Amino acid sequence: MSTTIVELFTDSLRSFRLQNSIELFKKASIFLYECRIEPRNIPVKILSSILEFASTEEDEELIQRWIGMIASASAGEKIYPSFPKVLSELTLSEIRILDFIYEKDNVRQNNMEPDIPPKYEYISNVDCVAKTPIDSDIYIPLDIMAHPT
């Protein structure tokens, strides 16, 4: 009897992952089409790693990150083999912090006025952000300021 329950759970999980994978690729295809980017083959090592982690994601904002990674890989951008694992381990708060750091560095490098959304204001005065160059090609998981002070 317990074997049947495990089999049902396994089948259900497999079905869920398959449906999520299909949806991810549909959305990534639409994104590429709208951006007029001709898709290329994604290296199997990268693709299998993305699918392993992305197919279990339920949060829509995080799903958008996986779609972005699929689209970037399809567009021929360099996706390091570690990227899918790093993304899978980040929380939404950590991703937002990294987005803020990237945006702040991009603004600084291009001498633009910062456009800081309200959700990032609590970290807008972090001095080290303005002094540390960020390689826009790589996200580094950080453990800083999980909550506003």
User: 146 by DSSP, 3-state: which?
Assistant: coil
Q: What is the model's pLDDT at position 37? A: 87
Q: In terms of pTM, does the model score above 0.75?
A: no
53 and 87 Cβ atoms separated by less than 8 Å: yes
Distance, in Å, from the CA atom of 72 to the CA atom of 75, rounded to the nearest integer, reads 5
Intervals of the chain under pLDDT 50: 118-149
Per-residue pLDDT tens for 88-118? 999 999 999 988 888 877 666 776 665 555 4
**Sign for the pseudo-dihedral over CA of 144, 147, 148, 149:** negative
Q: What is the model's pLDDT at position 80? A: 92
Q: What is the model's pLDDT at position 103? A: 83
31 and 67 Cβ atoms separated by less than 8 Å: yes
H or E element that contains 114: none
Distance, in Å, from the CA atom of 85 to the CA atom of 46, rounded to the nearest integer, reads 10
Amino acid (one-letter) located at 13: L
